[in-house]
């Protein structure tokens, strides 16, 4: 017996030019036995079907093809084709229509001007008529069905010029809408095209070029300079500079050497590297990004729900009005042709394309624009929520600070200088991989110190490191380990850890000669970002930290925050977020997406920092910054507000224009061609208005903090 387990299948739809058609395709697929749910995402031309295993892909393809579209694999490099053919059809139909009009106005007989009109209607209207017939057969009155009825009605009334104008204008409008809608899908297509379809696998027999989809985890692949990485992996041999802009949006290449992670779709610029594959083709960071951008359309913004509800009532109401207009007035006053012609105008105006696409086209454009800049927004609902944020909440470590320790101060306790103490500590710490040891070596390197020779260096677990310099024992570690003797005439020093600093002591020849204090380095752009957000009207900024109070206070003061709370456990962070949300209504929480996952989920909008390659970070947050650039926060606020503004403009314009056309059509003052031009023109204008978001600029990651004020649209 066949399994009844529900499967989710994703396809790309070719030929999807009309938002109304997308709704019709959904209804058609839901009638297929075994299909439980179907969703068509017009903005990215994606179809997702929930069905039993009994439903084959071939069945779904057949149903979709009968509806006038074509299906392709979910991760595919197949593009829309046939633009030149469509342009040619529109041009021929328009030329024939103009010829017929010239002959008719020249008072030629009907046998001279009717054939050009008829040919124009056939050439330009075949796609519309086929779509209309399928819509009527499936009892779903979409735009094609309404246009077909109107054209046939005009032909029945022998209004050849009107019928031809309707067909040609609708074909031109569809072509323009197709070309502009394709731009909204361009961001996802760029991501898809960035991953090669083949990979060079290193085998005992030599190099083999195979489809990337067949490469398994653990296999070794080779990527030469100038090639893109086909899969995620870890560099195991070689070094290079890698352009990661397709994933993170950062403009500067990132150096990669053995042990570093690389991602599918990024460009290997300078050297050949061998990589151990860590994720298969369908699970790469790039594939997850594409999937997330497409899936984001499931999370509709409240404005989009409002539009959908309005459209469900509006279209049937106007169709009913058209039927009444074609039947009641002729019974009272006669002149059926005149009233039937008016009803056809109403049918054309009833097409809700402009209203239906007014919201999703703007949201999809915003999602695609953000994704190209390394920002993953997981739904339109979060775009709207981001525009309404009134307070920002930050984690400290890894968000406002880099999470990497650096030397803050060196305090001598004897006749040795700070440079001598640092040089000896760095020499002994050469054998340690502890973060404090790395910070000591980095500071010594930054100061370009000449290090003494250290011998016999060993790690003493839980205490520190010791070694011999010039025949004398040198110890670097905690107080119990390195404070065997402190000169009595040295000034008293408070405990660095109580001040919020990590610390190590340095002992030489049995005498404690100094102390090194460390701090978590603050992000250089953090204070500027907070000021920029305040300028945008977001006036309250809070830091929640698990660190000691003194360290949190210092970071909050330096960055210019309004409040800090420390030390907090993860559950206490959740309580704090809920309290602030109740206080301000809408808050955004920014964290690393791992330790702060519960707090991120509790905020109105959760934003994960540095999510590249991290499943946990991407899953935990509503918005993921694929790199560690805080300057994307003001950009997000601006983009979200601009998106909401454009959505409101589109809704107001589409509804206002429809009502105006209805008012003109009802008394009979609106010819069919003008009704079509009005409908298609509004659809085109709302699409073009939404496309303005594609030019909405973001800061480059190599921009200096003081340049943040120069961000512009």
- Catalytic positions, written as ranges: 395
d(CA 19, CA 7): 26
CA proximity to 211, closest of 220, 229, 198, 193:
198
Measure Cα distances from 651 to 87, 305, 453 in Å.
30, 12, 74
Looking at beta carbons, which pairs linking 126-133 to residues 24 or more positions away fall under 8 Å? Answer: 127/68, 127/171, 127/174, 128/167, 128/170, 128/171, 128/174, 130/68, 131/21, 131/67, 131/68
Contact residues for 372 (Cβ-Cβ < 8 A; gap 6+): 187, 190, 249
Helix, strand, coil share (%) of the chain residues, nearest 5:
50, 20, 30
Cα angle, residue 680 at apex, residues 153 and 65 outer, rounded to 5°: 75
Q: Which helix (H) or strand (E) holds 8?
A: strand 6-14
DSSP state letters, 496-550: TTTTT-EEEEEEETTEEEEEEEEEEEEPTTHHHHHHHHHHTT--EEEEE-SS-HH
**What sections of 373-417 are H helices per DSSP?**
380-387
- Dihedral class, residue 83 (left if φ above 0, else alpha if ψ from -120 to 50, else beta): alpha
The burial class, CB within 10 Å (0-12 / 13-18 / 19+), for 5 is exposed
d(CA 310, CA 329): 28
Parallel, antiparallel or unpaired: strands 233-237 and 261-262: antiparallel
3-state secondary structure of 590: strand
Per-residue exposure over 154-185, b if at least 16 CB sit within 10 Å of its own CB, e if not: bbebebbbbbbbbbbbbbbbbbbbbbbbeebb
């Amino acid at each position: 017996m066949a399994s009844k387990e529900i499967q989710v299948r994703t396809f790309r739809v070719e030929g999807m030019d009309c938002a109304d058609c997308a709704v019709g395709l959904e209804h058609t697929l839901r009638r297929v036995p075994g299909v439980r749910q179907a969703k068509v995402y017009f903005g990215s031309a994606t179809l997702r079907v929930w069905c039993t295993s009994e439903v084959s892909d071939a069945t779904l393809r057949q149903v979709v093809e009968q509806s006038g579209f074509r299906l392709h694999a979910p991760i595919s490099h197949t593009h829309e084709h046939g633009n030149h053919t469509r342009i040619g059809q529109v041009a021929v139909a328009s030329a024939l229509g103009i010829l017929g009009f010239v002959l008719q106005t020249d008072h030629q007989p009907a046998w001279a001007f009717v054939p050009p009109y008829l040919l124009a209607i056939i050439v330009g209207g075949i796609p519309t008529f086929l779509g209309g017939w399928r819509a009527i057969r499936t009892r779903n009155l979409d735009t094609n069905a309404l246009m077909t009825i109107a054209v046939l009605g005009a032909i029945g009334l022998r209004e050849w010029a009107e019928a031809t104008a309707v067909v040609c204008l609708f074909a031109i409008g569809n072509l323009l809408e197709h070309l502009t809608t394709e731009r909204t899908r361009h961001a996802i297509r760029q991501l898809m095209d960035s991953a090669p379809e083949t990979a060079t696998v290193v085998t005992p027999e030599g190099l083999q070029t195979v489809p990337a989809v067949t490469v398994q985890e653990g296999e070794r692949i080779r990527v030469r300079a100038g090639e893109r990485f086909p899969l995620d992996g870890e560099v195991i041999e070689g070094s290079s500079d890698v352009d990661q802009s397709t994933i993170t949006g950062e403009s500067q290449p990132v150096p990669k050497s053995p042990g570093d992670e690389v991602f599918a779709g990024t460009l290997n610029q300078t050297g050949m590297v061998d990589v151990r594959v860590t994720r298969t083709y369908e699970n790469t960071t790039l594939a997850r990004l594409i999937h997330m951008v497409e899936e984001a359309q499931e999370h509709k913004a409240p404005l989009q729900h409002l539009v959908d509800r309005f459209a469900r009532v509006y279209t049937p109401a106007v169709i009913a009005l058209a039927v009444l207009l074609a039947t009641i007035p002729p019974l009272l006053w006669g002149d059926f042709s005149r009233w039937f012609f008016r009803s056809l105008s109403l049918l054309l105006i009833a097409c809700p394309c402009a209203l239906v696409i007014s919201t999703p086209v703007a949201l999809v454009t915003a999602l695609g624009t953000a994704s190209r800049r390394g920002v993953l927004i997981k739904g339109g609902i979060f775009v709207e929520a981001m525009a309404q944020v009134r307070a920002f909440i930050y984690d400290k470590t890894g968000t406002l600070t880099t999470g990497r320790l650096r030397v803050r101060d060196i305090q001598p306790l004897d006749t040795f200088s700070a440079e001598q103490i640092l040089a000896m500590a760095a020499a002994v710490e050469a054998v340690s991989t502890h973060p404090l040891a790395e910070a000591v070596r980095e500071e010594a390197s930054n100061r370009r110190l000449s290090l003494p020779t250290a011998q016999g260096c060993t790690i003493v677990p839980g205490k520190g490191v010791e070694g011999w310099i010039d025949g004398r024992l040198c110890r670097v570690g905690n107080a119990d380990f390195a404070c065997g003797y402190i000169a009595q005439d040295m000034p008293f020093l408070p405990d660095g850890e109580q001040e919020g600093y990590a610390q190590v002591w340095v002992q030489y020849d049995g005498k404690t000669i100094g102390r090194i204090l460390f701090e978590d380095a603050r992000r250089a752009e953090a204070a500027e970002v907070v000021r920029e957000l305040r300028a945008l009207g977001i006036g309250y900024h809070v830091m929640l930290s698990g660190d000691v109070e003194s360290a949190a206070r210092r970071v909050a003061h330096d960055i210019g925050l309004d409040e800090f709370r420390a030390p907090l456990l993860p559950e206490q962070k959740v309580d704090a977020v809920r309290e602030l949300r109740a206080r301000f209504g809408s808050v955004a929480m920014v964290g690393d997406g791992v330790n702060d996952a519960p707090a991120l989920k509790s905020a109105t909008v959760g934003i994960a920092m540095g999510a590249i390659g991290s499943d946990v970070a991407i899953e935990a947050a509503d918005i993921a910054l694929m790199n560690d650039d805080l300057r994307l926060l003001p950009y997000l606020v601006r983009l979200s507000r601009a998106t909401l503004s454009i959505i409101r403009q589109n809704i107001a314009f589409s509804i206002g224009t429809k009502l105006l056309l209805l008012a003109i059509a009802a008394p009979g003052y609106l010819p069919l061609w003008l009704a079509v031009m009005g409908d298609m023109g509004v659809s085109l204008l709302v699409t073009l208005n939404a496309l303005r978001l594609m030019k909405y600029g973001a800061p480059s990651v190599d921009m200096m903090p003081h340049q943040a004020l120069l961000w512009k649209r």
